[in-house]
Amino acid sequence: MPLTPTKQLLDEAIRGNYAVGAYNVNNMEQVQAIMQAAKETNSPVILQASRGALKYTNMVYIKHLVEAAIEDNPAIPIALNLDHGNSLEICKTAISLGFTSVMMDGSLKEDGKTPTTFEENVNITREVVKYAHQLGITVEGELGSFGGFEDGHGSGKMALTDPDEAVKFIKETGVDALALSFGTSHGLSKFKGNPELKFEILEKVSEAFPYISLVMHGSSSILPEFISLINSYGGNLKGAAGVPISEIQKAIKKGIRKINIDSDGRLAMTGTIRKYFHDHPGVTDPRDYLGAARNSIYEVYKSKMIDFGTAGHAQDYKPMTIKDMKEKIKK
């Protein structure tokens, strides 16, 4: 099947009260691991690339890696999302490459660091929505500011989303999905002490717009086994703390339909490769250690697809045949 419109995946998630994982990709091994997990769990999936990933892969390689995933997994619905676009031009570029959705992060200026005003955010997001919707492309906006940094993107400060502003933002921009800042953070150190997520923000926005897909950024659990693995083999990661799966599942019940995951995949890959080099000092074939890393990513993301409730929902998107349509008419 061709790429699935992102909005279709998210609309089905609303109906089924589950969330679809959006997994950042930069290379073949990551794509293969995610797709193996999606195939085995029968899960729809959103592959997403940041501006940094597009630069790293020279843009066109991402497109063809995803095309390979589609060809190799014809029964799995796959959407392709631009993560943290910071201008109309980068969104246009992603759309020209075949992305089915773009995130316009208008919460920060084009430098990716300086916060914008509410009005500036509305204006640029609305401009992207106007351009994208005429082409059938889904648009995600962001209101509020996440702590931490991702691909050098972020103000470094957290500003929780005002739910009343969120309602106004949705009305004025026409976005299909909205990333809310309710306590999560980008990077490895998401919390100091116990996580304190402001679920009331989700509740208020979801109550006002039950058909809008709410998005959770900074959602990696920062699995301690990989932090330990990295530190055991020369790493020096301190203060790492992620989002417990129990908190993510609670957020899903309150309206989260798209969950962004990046750091957990990076940690699984890095920890596995560090250990592999230690255990196999004579290794020279990248296929050996990248293959091991691919297996680790697969195990991590397979668990997430089950935990997010995505497993078993790939057939929610199966196109109707003529026979199906006739049966529906009879009913």
Give the Cα separation of 117 and 5 in Å (integer): 30
Query: 208 burial class (0-12, 13-18, 19+ CB within 10 angstroms)?
Result: middle
Give the Cα separation of 136 and 225 in Å (integer): 42
The conformation of residue 317, written as its DSSP 8-state character, comes to: G
Give the Cα separation of 177 and 175 in Å (integer): 6
The conformation of residue 309, written as its DSSP 8-state character, comes to: T
Which stretches does DSSP call E strand in the chain? 20-24, 45-50, 78-85, 101-104, 138-143, 177-180, 213-216, 256-261
Which residues have a Cβ under 8 Å from the Cβ of 193 and sit 6 or more positions away? none
At residue 40, φ and ψ (nearest 5 deg) are -70, -30
At residue 62, φ and ψ (nearest 5 deg) are -60, -45
> Is the Cβ–Cβ distance between 70 and 1 less than 8 Å?
yes
Give the Cα separation of 272 and 256 in Å (integer): 31
Give the Cα separation of 105 and 124 in Å (integer): 9
Give the Cα separation of 314 and 42 in Å (integer): 5
Instruction: Give catalytic residue positions.
Output: 83
